[in-house]
Amino acid sequence: MTHNVVIRLYQAPEKLNLSASTIRRLIKEGKLSTIKLSSRATGILQSEIDRYLAEISAQ
pLDDT for 1-59, tens place per residue? 456 899 999 999 998 899 999 999 999 999 999 999 999 999 999 999 999 999 999 98
pTM of the model: 0.82
Task: Give phi and psi for 30, each to the nearest 5.
Answer: 85, 15
Q: Where are the alpha helices (DSSP H) in 1-59?
A: 12-16, 20-28, 46-57
Query: CATH code at 37?
Result: 1.10.10
What range does the domain containing 20 cover?
6-57
What pLDDT score was predicted for residue 1? 43
Q: Note whether 56 and 23 are within 8 A (CB).
A: no
DSSP SS3 for 36: strand
What pLDDT score was predicted for residue 15? 87
**28 occurs within a structural domain:** yes
What pLDDT score was predicted for residue 3? 63
**1 occurs within a structural domain:** no
The total domain count for the chain is 1
